[in-house]
Amino acid sequence: MSTGRSATPMGPAELVQAAAMARRFYLEGKSKIQIAEEFGVSRFKVARVLETALERDLVRIEIRVPAELDAERSDALRARYGLRHAVVVESPADAADDAPDPENLGEVAADLLGELVNEGDVLGLAWGRSTIHMAAALHRLPPCTVVQLTGVYDAGTAERGSVEAVRRAAQVSGGEAHPIYAPMLLPDSATAAALRGQTGIARAFDYFDKVTVAAVSIGSWAPGISTVYDMLSEEERAQYASLGAAAEMSAHLFDAEGRRIGRDLGERCITVEADRLRRIPEVVAIAGGLRKAAAIGAVLRSGLVTSLVTDTAAADYLLLETGPGPRPALDRADPDGA
């Protein structure tokens, strides 16, 4: 990056001195005061020489991030939604509007967790294809405890889903694992309550208030894009659709404005309660694709999420939304005050 201004050409002595000062400042990390002392000039002279070096293209500064990361969209999304962290990756060039989440979201999210998790933290993982992909991509985590935040989509697939994700994260970190061997959705609230009282599940629930960093997935209210939707009957789907269901996260339903609906569903689910989720200092949502864009916006408005890993297709949708500015995620406020 340079201004490229035209001006009187610098003489050879000026060029050599400017190059030397620029090398000391940009490559060797010396301060302007140190450079001034070395060359016997004032620090203001050094500042002018460094500015001139930029203006004359003697020095060029480039801001470079990996090609798959979109720094401009990431910063714009962070600012619009008041997020602590927003990381936007490039969508596949041939991705259709109904394409699933790009698989590289999980890889980027795994690297982000490597930054966010500190030794002694408690990491919570909710069920979701994105979080499962993330766990598989983990290659570094400081020593921490890992706890499962939801039951699984199908108890028969636990080894390939949430339970395995928790085990994988614990293996990478060298910490304890607290999986939940139970389905996410039960036939009725009594069955769910009975399961919550079982020793292993109760032990995992005891850790919910200790979770410091959580990773969650987001689903749209449509077949194949929401775990809960696929588990419900046609009558139940119609019931929640009539309430304005637009998004789902960890078995909690939201309307387009981020207000929770269908709270009775939570009584039948093995999942972290929304109030507990809201108290977790860092909640990272992993979701992308145009088909989930509106759902991501709804969940961001809920105040339950602090950070987001998404792709350019979803980011463009979220940045072009019209209407009142969304509630910043960092205030963690419930939109309906309940």
- With CA atoms as reference, report the closest residue to 292 among 259, 270, 318: 318
Which two three-digit tokens encode residue 325? 């500015």
Q: State residue 160's pLDDT score.
A: 53
Residue 236 located in a structural domain: yes
Residue 63 located in a structural domain: no
DSSP-derived pairing of the beta strands 219-220 and 213-217 = unpaired
Residues 87 and 29 reside in one and the same domain: no
Which two three-digit tokens encode residue 145? 């405890």
Which two three-digit tokens encode residue 68? 């798959």
Residues 106 and 216 reside in one and the same domain: yes
Residue range(s) defining the domain that contains residue 43: 12-56
Q: Sheet holding 260-261: strands in order across?
A: 219-220, 247-249, 252-254, 260-261
CB atoms within 10 A of CB 193: 12
Q: State residue 316's pLDDT score.
A: 94
Quick one: three-class SS letters along 166-224? HHHHHHHHCCCEECCCCECECCCHHHHHHHHCCHHHHHHHHCHHHCCEEEEECEECCCC
Residues 49 and 118 reside in one and the same domain: no
Residues 52 and 77 reside in one and the same domain: no
Residue 7 located in a structural domain: no
Q: State residue 273's pLDDT score.
A: 94
Which two three-digit tokens encode residue 172? 């990478």
Residues 162 and 130 reside in one and the same domain: yes
Q: State residue 99's pLDDT score.
A: 59
Residue 2 located in a structural domain: no
Residues 40 and 75 reside in one and the same domain: no
Residue 171 located in a structural domain: yes
Q: State residue 7's pLDDT score.
A: 56
Residues 96 and 190 reside in one and the same domain: yes
| Angle at CA of residue 320, ends 329 and 284, nearest 5° | 30
Residue 61 located in a structural domain: no
Q: Looking at the 3D structure of the chain, how many domains does it have?
A: 2
Residues 51 and 113 reside in one and the same domain: no
Question: Which pTM was predicted?
Answer: 0.78
| CATH number of the structural domain spanning residue 26 | 1.10.10
Q: State residue 100's pLDDT score.
A: 62
Q: How far apart are CA 306 and CA 86, in angstroms?
A: 9
**Residue 232 DSSP label:** S
Which two three-digit tokens encode residue 100? 């699933």
Residue-wise pLDDT tens for the chain (338 aa)?
A: 434 444 567 777 788 888 889 989 988 899 999 999 998 999 999 999 999 888 888 887 766 555 578 888 999 999 888 899 999 998 876 555 565 667 789 889 999 999 999 999 999 999 888 888 899 999 999 999 999 999 987 544 444 577 899 999 999 999 999 999 988 999 999 999 999 999 989 999 999 999 999 999 999 998 888 888 888 999 999 999 999 999 999 999 999 999 999 989 989 999 999 999 999 999 999 999 999 999 999 999 999 999 999 999 999 999 987 655 666 677 788 887 65
| CATH number of the structural domain spanning residue 211 | 3.40.50.1360
Q: State residue 337's pLDDT score.
A: 66
Residue 114 located in a structural domain: yes
Residue 44 located in a structural domain: yes
Residues 155 and 195 reside in one and the same domain: yes
Residues 84 and 32 reside in one and the same domain: no
Residues 167 and 315 reside in one and the same domain: yes
Residues 252 and 108 reside in one and the same domain: yes
